[in-house]
Amino acid sequence: MAEKKADKAEKVDKQEGFVEHITPRSVDFSQWYTDVVLKAELADYAPVRGCMVIRPYGYAIWENIQARLDRRIKETGHKNAYFPLFVPESLLRKEAQHVEGFAPEVAWVTHGGNEELAERLVVRPTSETIICSMYSKWIKSWRDLPVLINQWANVVRWEKTTRPFLRTAEFLWQEGHTAHRTLEEATEETLRMLNVYIDFVENDLAIPVVAGRKTESEKFAGAVDTYSLEAMMADGRALQAGTSHNLGQNFAKVFDITFLDEDNQLKYVWQTSWGVSTRLIGAIIMVHGDERGLALPPAVAPIQVIIVPIMTPGHKEEVLSKAREIRERFEHEYRIDMDAREEYSPGWKFNEWELRGVPIRLEVGPRDIKAGQVVLVRRDTGEKLTVKEEALPDTLRDVLNQVHQGLYNRARKFMDDNTHEVSSYQELKELMDTKRGFAIAPWCGDPACEASIKAETGATIRCIPLEQPREVTVEDKCIFCNGDAKTLVYLAKAY
């Protein structure tokens, strides 16, 4: 009797606890984000400053990102390799702009065991230098080109302010590094990979982006040109979702990466590098999440369909049998699971799987079995559909596509509604102070104007868009100095 009472008390506690409280997004966006990360069990804080532990559910999202992006990378002719975690200090210091750009963020290894190292080692913040040292050995002739290598790895940047997935001392990413015969080939590669990222982020993650070139002050340290994808989060801030760099011959000259061309002339290679990171998981949370928690795009959701059997007294085995039948029917086509835990009520489970962002929930109860149907619930809209069992294959496929498109359309509308062209500096300041989103403004190209805007408004030039919103005319004046404008730029406060 005592055991039964204890079991009942535990069940009541769990039911009354329901899904743990999440701070309303409209009240405190930052705390809402942290609550979702922790309570959806995506990640947790590690006992190392600025680091996180990626939990199985969060890592499953990363695995799906990795698999789908890796396929695209390989389809463009690239192969995966792996390079050392440690970089000798002498290699990092070879490229002056590069070391200057990363010096404040590097972590140093000074001892091996109890002995002080003769040369300090850097825990890689990025791999250009270590990879270039190898390319200088491997590349001898034009026949060795192009070299198209990608690696999936971890990197360390000693960030002052950290937040899970968005900015951590250690994070996971992929970084591509290529070498080419000509500038034209390198330029083509840089833009090709930018377009691979655009395709992936929009068509798999359902996140609309603005693509463009970074300004001189914002580009990657040591690059000739840097291109980026800029996404808008639900609080109106921008997030850099990926970058592709044309490195020109800067690193080639420093590391003596030369090849004998067909004309018997010794020449330097032209290089690129490009990458995305676990920051994309942060983007998914902040673009698609809502007051109920995560809302995951089907392409990368660890569970695409969750079955919740409604086990009323006297019908438990009948309902479980039908739920298992449905799971087995679709488990080779979708990532599908079943929540048959008896210690939680159906309502608790509904909230739990909404918190975790599962795109589709299927409810199966005795009445549904009798009617030969299931109840399908969309996570993105909350819409409920009654679906006959024979129509389930087509319906699942169609609804998953609709969920993706619905998430994308909602994010696109939010970005469009919060993108404003401004014609005066006062208008820009007011927009940054009182509203949110992207500002489109004319700019003269002077870094001094860019620096002043950043210092006074907190907004940075996110990119010079590849597709200009409109043609720049002689009437357009720089948003800051009122000089002749050379281009339109996107500005925003950013993560």
Per-residue pLDDT at 284 exceeds 70: yes
Output the six-digit token pair for 273. 């590098």
Could you report the per-residue pLDDT of 375-409, keeping only the tens digit for each? 999 999 999 999 999 999 999 999 999 999 999 99
Pairing relation of β-strands 107-112 and 238-248?
A: unpaired
How much of the chain exceeds pLDDT 70, in percent? 95
More confident residue, 135 or 6: 135
Could you tell me where the DSSP H helices lie in 76-157? 89-92, 96-102, 128-138
pLDDT at 98: 64
How far is it, in rounded angstroms, from Cα 302 to Cα 307? 14
pLDDT score of 19 more than 60: no
Write the DSSP assignment of 344-372 as a string of letters: S-HHHHHHHHHHTT-SEEEEE-HHHHHHT
The confidence score (pLDDT) of residue 452 equals 97
CATH superfamily of 305-398: Anticodon-binding domain (3.40.50.800)
- Token couple for 383: 């819409």
Q: What is the pLDDT of residue 222?
A: 86
Residue 460: its H or E element:
strand 460-465
Confidence of residue 30 (pLDDT cuts 50, 70, 90): very high
Tell me how crowded residue 343 is: count the other CB atoms within 10 A of its CB.
Answer: 11
The residues near 365 (Cβ < 8 Å, ≥ 6 apart) are 309, 310, 312, 315, 319
Q: What is the mean pLDDT of residues 1-14?
A: 40
- Provide the pLDDT for residue 99: 66
pLDDT of residue 138: 98
Q: Is 215 left (phi over 0), alpha (psi -120 to 50) or beta?
A: beta
CA–CA distance, 256 with 267 (Å, rounded to integer): 10
Report yes or no on whether pTM surpasses 0.75: yes
Average pLDDT of the chain to the nearest whole number: 94
Do 474 and 486 contact (CB within 8 A), yes or no?
no
Q: CA-to-CA distance for 50 and 239, rounded, in angstroms?
A: 19
Read off the pLDDT of each residue in 198-219 and give the average, rounded to a whole number: 97
Q: Round to whole Å and give the CA distance between 428 and 457.
A: 8
Residue 491: predicted pLDDT: 98
E-strand ranges in 221-372 read 225-232, 238-248, 258-260, 266-268, 270-277, 305-309, 336-338, 360-364
- Under a CB-based contact definition with an 8 Å cutoff, are residues 125 and 156 in contact? yes
Residue 14: pLDDT above 70? no
Q: Do domains 33-288 and 419-492 have the same CATH topology?
A: no
Domain boundaries, the chain: 33-288, 305-398, 419-492
Residue 369 has pLDDT above 90, yes or no: yes
Mean pLDDT of 334-352: 96
pLDDT at residue 206 in the model = 98
pLDDT at 196 over 80: yes
Q: Identify the CATH number of the domain defined by range 419-492.
A: 3.30.110.30
**Residue 369 near residue 308 (C-beta atoms within 8 A):** no
User: Is-contact 232 105, C-beta < 8 A?
Assistant: no
pLDDT band at 102 (very low <50, low <70, confident <90, very high): confident
Residue 2's pLDDT is what?
40
Q: Which residues of 22-34 are buried (b: 16+ CB within 10 A; e: fewer)?
A: bbebeeebeebbb
- The CA-atom distances, in angstroms, between 78 and each of 65, 149, 176, 461 are 17, 5, 8, 32
| Owner of token pair 């087995």 | 328
pLDDT band at 9 (very low <50, low <70, confident <90, very high): very low
Kindly report the CATH class assigned to 33-288. alpha beta
